[in-house]
Amino acid sequence: MRSHRATLRAGVSLAATLPLLAGALALGIPAHAADGPGRDTLAGTKPAWATTKADRGAAPDGAQVSVRVYLAGRDAAGLAAYAKAVSDPGSASYGTYLSSRQAQARFGATKAQVAAVKGWLASAGLKVTDVTQHYVAVTGDVAAAEKAFGTQLHNYTKGTKTYRAPTTTASVPDGVKDAVLTVTGLDNAPHLASHKDQLPSPETVFRNAGPFSTYHGSNVATTLPDAYGTKIPYAVKGYTGKQLRAAYGAGKRTGKGVRIAITDAYASPTIAFDAATYAKRNGDAAWSSGQLRQVLPAKYTRTKECSAAGWYGEETLDVEAVHAVAPGAQVTYVGAASCYDEDLLDSLSKIVDSHLADIVSNSWGDIEANQTPDLAAAYDQVFQFGAVEGIGFYFSSGDNGDEVANTGTKQVDTPANSAWVTAVGGTSLAVGKGDSYLWETGWGTQKAVLSDDGKSWTDFPGAFTSGAGGGTSRTVAEPYWQKGVVPDALAQANSADGNRVVPDIAAIADPNTGFLVGQTQTLPDGTTQAYDEYRIGGTSLAAPVIAAVQALAQEARGGKPLGFANPAIYARYGSKAYHDVTDDPTGSGLAVARVDYVNGYDAAGGLTPSVRTLGKDSSLSAVKGYDDVTGVGTPAGGYVESYRR
One-letter identity of residue 9: R
pLDDT in the model for residue 3? 36
In order of 52, 292, 314, 315, 401, the CA distances from 259 in angstroms are 50, 10, 19, 17, 31
Distance CA 136, CA 111 (A): 12
Check residue 195 and give its pLDDT: 26
H helices of 435-527, in order, are 488-491
What confidence score (pLDDT) does residue 573 get? 97
Which segments of the chain have a pLDDT < 50?
1-35, 191-197
pLDDT for residue 21: 27
Residues 6+ apart with CB under 8 A from 85: 91, 92, 93, 94, 96
Q: Coil, helix or strand for 373?
A: helix
For 25, 239, 485, 530, 569, the CA distances from 432, given in Å and listed in that order, are 44, 11, 31, 31, 27
In angstroms, the CA 68 to CA 409 distance is 31
Domain positions in the chain are 7-184, 241-643
Q: What pLDDT is attached to residue 202?
A: 79
Question: What is the rounded CA–CA span in Å between residue 367 and residue 375?
Answer: 13
H/E stretch holding 343 reads: helix 341-354
Taking the C-alpha atoms of residue 574 and residue 197, their distance in angstroms, rounded to an integer, is 51
Rg (alpha carbons) of the chain, rounded to whole number: 24
Q: How far apart are CA 570 and CA 163, in angstroms?
A: 43
In degrees, rounded to 5, the angle at the alpha carbon of residue 379 between the alpha carbons of residues 142 and 479 is 135
Q: What is the DSSP string of 84-97?
A: HHHH-TTSTTTT--
User: Which residue, among 262, 263, 241, has the nearest Cα to 253 in the 3D structure?
Assistant: 241
Which tens digits make up the pLDDT trace of 89-143?
999 999 999 999 999 999 999 999 999 999 999 999 999 999 999 999 999 999 9
241-643 domain in CATH 3.40.50.200? yes
Residue 37, pLDDT score: 62
